A and B are shown apart, each in its own frame.
Chain A
Amino acid sequence: MTRALHPGAWWLWALGLAVVAARTTNPLLLGLVLAVAGYVAVACAQDTPWASSYGVFLKFGLVVIALRVVFHVLLGGVQGPTVLFTLPQLPLWPPALRLGGPVSAEGLVFALVQGLQLATLLGCVGAVNAVANPKRLLRSLPAALYEVSVAVVVALTVAPQLAASARSVRRARRLRGDAIRGRGAVRTLLVPVLEGAFERSLSLAAAMDSRGYGRNAGLSRRARLLTAVLVLGGVIGLCVGVYALLDGSSAGVPVLLVGVLLAVAGLVAGSRRVRRSRYRPDRWRARELLVAASGAVAAMCAVLSGGPDMVVQTSPLSAPHLPALPAVGVLVGLLPSLVAAHRRSA
């Protein structure tokens, strides 16, 4: 078997698809993104405990759509001429808010596609979780972020264990006759689960200490502070920059650049003390580049093709058309399934 792909490549691929989903409310295009992500998730799924989380993400997406629609019906929003039904209206303060009132087909469609957009984003994240182990991604993080990544790894380890122990405690509780109801029942569940989780975290910490974690990690207080400020500033800059870029405002690019600069400086400063090596590090090879590029192509196509087909028309309602360029771009996103098929036959 050849090695699994670098998780970074998978995340870039998913990011590309997510950019498409963020740029459009066209349900056809969103559906296409979901289908492509889902196909790749199933075709390239890995044998990790996380692979099964894809279904959870999809269900979560359905919940998001349902919530969006319910909120729209209750609180209103986009109005249109085609009133389907009218709920009894409650006056609220401030008067701009309302509860109940007319519900229009236009508004309903708008809420649906917005929910679908969020669900598609979730689908992209779920797909990447199925194909790339999140722990491996953390392993590829720069050394300056080592402490953070360890904390996340421990959390990722403890979370499924917590769920498992909750299941076994609930099962064991039946042995005591489920006698306690109400608030007491929560306690009978929480006390053993939390005590167990606490003990497990302690033994995990002891195991990590015994196995040399944090050896030679001495770094002066000032250096640590500087690194933290630089990295934090960089991350904030990155977030603001990406948001501005997706939002289409002009401040995006410079803020993003400053963010990248700060983050890189912080990582370099923090990485100077590394005395840790990495077993079989993930490397960027041709296949990784192909996967990442396919995501980038999808994103580029969506960014380049503006035009009315990208947004769904709600007033008046009209059937959406599938825009050619972004659709082709999204289909390029299927490329990883070919690369992965190669992996299986090898």
Chain B
Amino acid sequence: MIRFEHVTVTYPDATRPALADLDLVVPEGELCLVVGRTGSGKSTLLRAVNGLVPHFTGGRLEGRVLVDGRDTRDHPPRELADVVGLVAQDPQAGFVTDSVEEELAYSMESLGLPDPVMRKRVEETLDLLGLVEVRDRALATLSGGQQQRVAIGAALTAHPRVLVLDEPTSALDPGAAEDVLAALHRLVHDLGMTVLIAEHRLERVAQYADRVVWLPGGARAAVAGDPGAVLAEAPVAPPVVRLARLAGWQPVPVSVRDARRLAGPLRDELPAPPAAAPRPTGDLLRARGVRVSYSGVEAVRGVDLAVAGGELVALMGRNGSGKSSLLWAVQGSGRRSGGSVRLDGVDPADLKPAVRRRSVGLVPQQPDDLLYLHTVAGECAQADRESDRSAGTCRAILERIAPGIADDAHPRDLSEGQRLALVLAISLTPEPRALLLDEPTRGLDYPAKTRLAEALRELARAGHAVVLATHDVEFAAECATRVVVLAGGEVVADGPTAEVVTASPIFSPQVAKVLAPRPWLTVDDVRTAMAAR
């Protein structure tokens, strides 16, 4: 169905190709997962399938890409719209209309289908993706998961034979991600659709894949094959595969179910996990009854949160459960309708912004919002000035978190992980006592996440209080000492990480699922325990 023949893509002004000599065949009816580090050419591969590369992006494509027998060289994206449906990373950026039904119909209108056919297909798609209740709603009012499903539906109504998705679950909470993936699973199994997905959160998708393509980046050739076999070799692998590598399981399982069948002996021989360290005493940050409401809608309803220095608290909960609003209200720059916040006995909201950032820092969900200069060096120098630190402070912090970023690089040209590191360094320059992070792992690959987790743990060890809002259960399990779950703007669970995440399957990391009822959370913990034996 999709055939790449010796494809090399070089963007204008690039020193090396984004995709080098790729040979790949994806047969009809397969769900194919593309994995690789950030910048290994995953997005380029996906966008080459419907001709956006090179027709839209520019650059040079050598070799041939055939989709359903059509050469993308002669067919621009619009002429492939009936064969390939593309769902981009940020669904909201791709919406052309503003209501659900019109969005679903847009591709069909472009293809010139008659009205009765469109009516029928819109109804089918609404049912298939569970969107009937929201059919008349404005797109802007939908939750992230609903928007993602509308974006998939909008691609589906044209009845393409191939569906291409770029990180379909990266912005979604675990529950919404499962809904989206279940819908995709159904498309592959019931309609025989060919699906190509790129995703960083492999723990969510790997189990659904029929085949995995690993792009090692650089000049090395892509590796395609059975999910277990390919992921066992790749540097990006879900926890279940890393656990299998550690325990030497063969064949390498990619689903929790397969892993559990092999995990019996490991479960028995592992000792009891070390007891969690007791909560540090002396709350640094204390919020009581915090309320946030926007034009009558209560996003946060009376949340109490106390964080001690040295604690790393993960805030979890559905999209729209009030995590971001809470962080902004606690930091003092955002709206707060009620309640009190004390940091070292002072309410951050009463401080001037310049003083406030010395007591509590925040890394927002869109780190780009903080950057406005043309070079990394410029941003660092500005951070030193606005924090009254000696020149080079910010640069030194950056070098520690993410070594090797060029001084003259443009912040927008950095990878997601590097950009996050830059914003983190800027926020840490004034050495705030508390640091808040909003969805820091979006777009990060596993090695980048591990580095971020290390940086955060180091901060906590130095006595800072760290709070992060995240959907990423694996990341929370890896670094948080405590987990607070929000629902509908209220705290529904608060306790040590192991206790809270193992209590509910939706917040459970893969290792915990595989080794249940033993409360192990991460591969690293298991590795330490095995080494000690």
The residues of A with any CB-CB pair to B shorter than 8 Å are: 1, 47-49, 133, 135, 153, 157, 165, 168-169, 171-180, 187-188, 191-192, 195-196, 200, 203-216, 275-281
Q: Is the CB of A281 within 8 A of B366?
A: no
- Cα(A176)–Cα(B106), bound, Å: 42
Best-buried of B50, B98, B333, B427 by chain A (most CB within 10 Å): B98
Number of interface residues of B (CB under 8 A): 71
- Cα(A204)–Cα(B355), bound, Å: 40
Q: Is the CB of A212 within 8 A of B158?
A: yes
Q: Decide: A279 near B98, CB < 8 A? Known: A174-B333, A192-B369, A196-B368.
A: no
CB distance from B192 to the nearest CB of A (A): 22
Q: Is the CB of B111 within 8 A of A212?
A: yes
- Cα(A169)–Cα(B111), bound, Å: 38
CB distance from B413 to the nearest CB of A (A): 12
Asked whether B14 is an interface residue with its Cβ less than 8 Å from the other chain, the reply is no
- Cα(A275)–Cα(B182), bound, Å: 35
B86, B122, B386: the one contacting A179 at CB < 8 Å is B386
Asked whether B280 is an interface residue with its Cβ less than 8 Å from the other chain, the reply is no
A169, A204, A276: the one contacting B110 at CB < 8 Å is A276
The residues of B with any CB-CB pair to A shorter than 8 Å are: 50, 52, 55-56, 76-79, 81-82, 84-86, 88, 90, 93-98, 101-102, 105-115, 118-119, 122, 136-138, 140, 154-155, 158, 328, 331, 333-334, 353-357, 361-362, 364, 366, 368-373, 382-383, 385-387, 412, 426-427
Q: Is the CB of A169 within 8 A of B107?
A: no
Q: Is the CB of A47 within 8 A of B333?
A: no
Q: Is the CB of A212 within 8 A of B82?
A: yes
- Cα(A207)–Cα(B356), bound, Å: 41
Q: Is the CB of B362 within 8 A of A175?
A: yes
| Chain B residue at smallest Cβ distance from A193 | B369
Q: Is the CB of A279 within 8 A of B102?
A: yes
| Chain A residue at smallest Cβ distance from B55 | A209
Q: Is the CB of B372 within 8 A of A191?
A: yes
Contacts of A192 in B (CB 8 A): 368-372
- Cα(A1)–Cα(B385), bound, Å: 59
Contacts of B93 in A (CB 8 A): 200, 203-204, 207
20 A/B residue pairs, CB under 8 Å, sorted by A:
A49-B98, A135-B97, A175-B333, A176-B426, A177-B387, A188-B372, A206-B88, A206-B94, A207-B94, A208-B96, A210-B84, A211-B110, A211-B154, A211-B158, A212-B111, A215-B78, A277-B109, A277-B112, A279-B105, A279-B115
CB distance from B378 to the nearest CB of A (A): 12
Q: Decide: A168 near B81, CB < 8 A? Known: A177-B353, A177-B386, A187-B372.
A: no
Q: Decide: A279 near B109, CB < 8 A? Known: A169-B369, A171-B333.
A: yes
Q: Is the CB of A276 within 8 A of B361?
A: no
Q: A203-B90, A211-B78, A212-B78 are in contact. List 7 more A-B contacts (CB 8 A).
A: A47-B137, A157-B95, A157-B96, A205-B56, A208-B96, A278-B115, A280-B105
CB distance from A193 to the nearest CB of B (A): 9
Q: Is the CB of A209 within 8 A of B368?
A: no
Q: Is the CB of B78 within 8 A of A276?
A: no
- Cα(A157)–Cα(B357), bound, Å: 34
Contacts of B354 in A (CB 8 A): 177-179
Contacts of A178 in B (CB 8 A): 353-354
| Chain B residue at smallest Cβ distance from A160 | B140
| Chain A residue at smallest Cβ distance from B139 | A49
| Chain B residue at smallest Cβ distance from A217 | B78
Contacts of A200 in B (CB 8 A): 93
Contacts of B56 in A (CB 8 A): 205-206, 209
Contacts of A207 in B (CB 8 A): 86, 88, 93-96
Q: Is the CB of B52 within 8 A of A1?
A: no
| Chain B residue at smallest Cβ distance from A203 | B93
Q: Is the CB of B385 within 8 A of A179?
A: yes
Q: Is the CB of B412 within 8 A of A157?
A: no
Q: Decide: A175 near B357, CB < 8 A? Known: A196-B368, A203-B93, A206-B56.
A: yes
Q: Is the CB of B427 within 8 A of A175?
A: yes
Contacts of A205 in B (CB 8 A): 56
CB distance from B480 to the nearest CB of A (A): 23
- Cα(A210)–Cα(B155), bound, Å: 9
B137, B158, B370, B373: the one contacting A172 at CB < 8 Å is B370
Q: Is the CB of A277 within 8 A of B78?
A: no
CB distance from B270 to the nearest CB of A (A): 43
| Chain A residue at smallest Cβ distance from B430 | A177
| Chain A residue at smallest Cβ distance from B164 | A210
CB distance from A189 to the nearest CB of B (A): 8
Contacts of B353 in A (CB 8 A): 174-178
Contacts of A204 in B (CB 8 A): 93-94, 96
CB distance from B386 to the nearest CB of A (A): 4
Q: Decide: A215 near B98, CB < 8 A? Known: A168-B366, A175-B362, A192-B372.
A: no
- Cα(A207)–Cα(B93), bound, Å: 8
- Cα(A47)–Cα(B139), bound, Å: 11
- Cα(A196)–Cα(B353), bound, Å: 24
Contacts of B94 in A (CB 8 A): 203-204, 206-207
Q: Is the CB of B364 within 8 A of A175?
A: yes
Contacts of B90 in A (CB 8 A): 203
A196, A213, A280: the one contacting B78 at CB < 8 Å is A213
A171, A187, A278: the one contacting B328 at CB < 8 Å is A171
CB distance from A163 to the nearest CB of B (A): 12
| Chain B residue at smallest Cβ distance from A136 | B102
| Chain A residue at smallest Cβ distance from B137 | A47
CB distance from A212 to the nearest CB of B (A): 3
- Cα(A179)–Cα(B119), bound, Å: 55
Contacts of B385 in A (CB 8 A): 179
Contacts of B371 in A (CB 8 A): 192
Q: Is the CB of A279 within 8 A of B88?
A: no
CB distance from A247 to the nearest CB of B (A): 38
Q: Is the CB of B412 within 8 A of A195?
A: yes
Contacts of A133 in B (CB 8 A): 98
Contacts of B136 in A (CB 8 A): 1, 47
Contacts of A1 in B (CB 8 A): 136
- Cα(A187)–Cα(B382), bound, Å: 14
Best-buried of A177, A205, A215, A276 by chain B (most CB within 10 Å): A177
CB distance from A273 to the nearest CB of B (A): 11
3 cross-chain pairs, A with B, having the tightest CB-CB distances, nearest first: A212-B81, A212-B110, A207-B94
| Chain B residue at smallest Cβ distance from A279 | B105
CB distance from A192 to the nearest CB of B (A): 5
Contacts of A210 in B (CB 8 A): 50, 52, 77-78, 81, 84-86
A169, A195, A209, A214: the one contacting B52 at CB < 8 Å is A209
- Cα(A35)–Cα(B105), bound, Å: 38
- Cα(A276)–Cα(B113), bound, Å: 8
Contacts of B427 in A (CB 8 A): 175
CB distance from A63 to the nearest CB of B (A): 23
Contacts of B111 in A (CB 8 A): 212, 215
